[in-house]
Chains A and B, each alone.
Chain A
C-alpha cells in the first residue's frame, strides 16, 4: 500500500495516468457526431439536412389501431401524413410542411419465423439488422437486402432497394405477403396475386400509397461464401459481369470504380461471393470493424489529388486482404456504414444513383470521362466513390428503375452549401442524368432531387399512371411528402 502511495506521488506517474486516460477518451470519441432527423429545433430533416421543414408533430407509432385512427382522422380533417423510419432517404420522403410524421421505429416486432417454410413475418419499423439477429440462429438469411443493415424494412421496400445479391431479383419480389393501411384507413392483407394491385403501388411507392404494417419475407439459407477479388480495367467489366451472371456458383457481386486522378474511371475492383454449399448456424453477426482506420482513409481520399490516389491504393490493399476469405451471407449483407460520416461545416456529402443497361456500360463510362474532371482536388463538386451493383429487371413496382437488367452506379458526391455551389452541383448532376438518359438509363428517386421534372418524366414514363392511381387511392392526399411535392404536383 505504501509503495502504491509513493508511486502515485511521482509527477511522471500522474503524467502517464493522464496520457492513458487521454488515449481512452480519444478511443471512445464517437465517429458519428452529426445529429439529424427530428431533433433539430422543431425542424425535420433527413440524412442530408438539405431540406429542413417545420412539421406539426411526430407520432411514435406502437400499434395498428392507433395508426388507423390517425389516418381516419386525417381524412376527416384534411391533415397530411408522412411515414418515417430511419430517414436515410435524402429527398424529403419522410416529412411534409406542417404535416404529421409517423415515426415507425417503435413498430418493430419480429412476429413469426417459420424455419420450414423459410419465411419471416416482421413489422415494418424493424431494421434489417433486427431481422438478421432473429433469423441467424436458424441458419437462415434474407434473399435480398441492401449491403448495409441499418435501414428499416418499410423504408427499403418503399424505395424497392437492391443490394449485392444477383440471383433473387428486385427486393419487392421477395415479399410473400403484406399487411397495409390504405390512405382511407382500411387495413388490407395483400398477397402476391393481389388483384387490386396495391402491392404494385406500395412497394417502391415512396410512402405515398399507405403504411406498410408488416411483411412476410422469403428467406434462404445463411450460406458460407468465399470472397474473390480482382482488379480489372473498366473496359473489361461488361464481359466480366456476363461471365459472373452465367456462373451460377456466384451468389453476390459488386464492384468499385476508381475516382482517383491517376486511374480515373479506368480501373475497377470486383468482389464476388462464391457459394460453398455450406450452411452456417454458428457464426455470429459481425459488428462494425476498423471504423477509425476506414474513416481516416476515406477522409484522406476526400481531399482529392494524390491523397485520393493513396486512398485507392489503400482500398487495393484491403480488397487483396479479403481475397480468399470466407463470410456468411448475413455478414456479407451488413457492411460498415459509420465510417462514412461527413461533418465538414459548410459542405454536404450526398448520394446519387444512376442505372444503366448492362450492355451500355462501357460506352457510358467513356462519356462520363468527358463529363467529369479527372482530378477534382480544387473543385467544389467532388466525386468520392462509385460502387457498381447489379439490379435485375423489375416487373413488380409502378416506378421501376430497372426496366431491364441494369447496373446501378452508387455515387458519393460532396459539394458546398452556398447558393452558387448548390446550383453548380445541380447542373453537374443534371448533366450526368442527361448522359444516363442518353444510354437508356434512369436515376434513383430516394435521394436529393437535383434532377428536373422533365428528367423525372423521361426516366419514369409510368409517372402519369402513378399519379392517376395516387389520386384514386388517396383522394384526400393524406400521404404526402416533399418528394411528392417536387415531382407530382
Chain B
C-alpha cells in the first residue's frame, strides 16, 4: 500500500507549482524590464531544469534521495520572492538566482517523480485539480500575488519537514 507522503505530497507540489505560476510570472515580468530579459530568464530556467533532471539520473536514481531538501529549497525560494521586500536594484539578479534554483529543483523533482509508482495517477489528477483551482481563483479578488507565493512556499517547507520526519520514523521502525 502506498504511504501518504508518496500519495499526496508530489501531487501538492505539481499542482501548487502550476497554480502559483501566474503569480510568479507577474513578479518576474515586473523585475525583467524587457521582453528579451524575460525570455532569457525562462531560457535559464529551462537549462537549469535539464541540469536538475540529469543530475538526478546521474545519481543512480535513489528513490528518496534529497527530495525533502528539494521541497524545502523550493519553499524557501517562493517565500523569498513573496515576502522579502528587496530593493529594485537587486531584483533582476535575485530573479536570475530564483530561476536557476527553481529550474534545477523542478528538473530534479520531475526526474524523481517519474520514478514513483503513483506518477501516472498524479498526472491525471494534477490536470483535474489545477483546472478546478484555477476556476476557483478566478472568482477571488487577489489581494497581492505575494500572499499566494508566501503561502505556497510555506506549504512546500512543511512538505519537506514532513518528509524528513517520516524518513526518520521509517529508519527508527527498521
Contacts and interface: CB of A to CB of B under 8 A. Distances in A.
A14 B92 contact: no
Interface of A: 9-11, 14-15, 17-18, 21-22, 24-26, 28-30, 33-34, 343-345
B48 A18 contact: yes
Interface in B103-151: 103-104
Given A11-B58, A29-B92, A33-B88, A22 B51 contact: no
Contact of B44 (A10, A15, A18): A18
A34 B88 contact: yes
Contact of B40 (A15, A17, A28): A28
Nearest to B85: A345
Interface stretch (B18-26, B31-39, B63-71, B76-84): B31-39
Contacts of A18: 44, 47-48, 51, 100, 103-104
Given A9-B54, A25-B44, A25-B96, 13 more contacts: A14-B54, A14-B55, A17-B51, A18-B44, A18-B104, A21-B43, A26-B93, A28-B36, A28-B37, A28-B40, A29-B92, A30-B34, A34-B88
A190 B172 CA distance: 94
A343 B100 contact: no
Contact of B89 (A22, A24, A28, A33): A33
B50 A22 contact: no
B60 interface: no
A343 B86 CA distance: 12
Contact of A22 (B33, B44, B58, B88): B44
A25 B40 contact: yes
B28 interface: no
A344 B89 CA distance: 7
B37 A29 contact: yes
A22 B104 CA distance: 13
B41 interface: yes
Contacts of A10: 54
A345 to B, nearest CB: 5
* 4 A-B pairs closest in CB distance: A14-B51, A29-B92, A21-B44, A343-B89
A178 to B, nearest CB: 38
Nearest to B37: A28
A11 B50 CA distance: 9
Nearest to A32: B33
Given A11-B55, A18-B100, A21-B43, A343 B37 contact: no
A22 B100 contact: yes
A33 B94 CA distance: 14
Given A26-B93, A33-B33, A34-B88, A21 B51 contact: no
A250 B47 CA distance: 56
A228 B92 CA distance: 40
Nearest to B31: A33
A255 to B, nearest CB: 30
A93 B104 CA distance: 50
Contacts of A14: 47, 50-51, 54-55
Contacts of B36: 28
A70 to B, nearest CB: 33
A34 B41 CA distance: 20
A30 B33 CA distance: 8
A15 B51 contact: yes
15 contacts: A14-B51, A17-B47, A17-B50, A18-B44, A18-B48, A18-B51, A21-B40, A25-B37, A28-B37, A30-B33, A33-B88, A33-B92, A34-B88, A343-B87, A344-B87
A10 B41 CA distance: 22
Contact of B88 (A11, A21, A26, A345): A345
Contacts of A344: 87, 89
A29 B50 CA distance: 24
A33 B33 CA distance: 7
B113 to A, nearest CB: 18
A15 B52 CA distance: 9
A25 B31 CA distance: 13
A10 B57 CA distance: 10
A124 B144 CA distance: 43
A195 B55 CA distance: 81
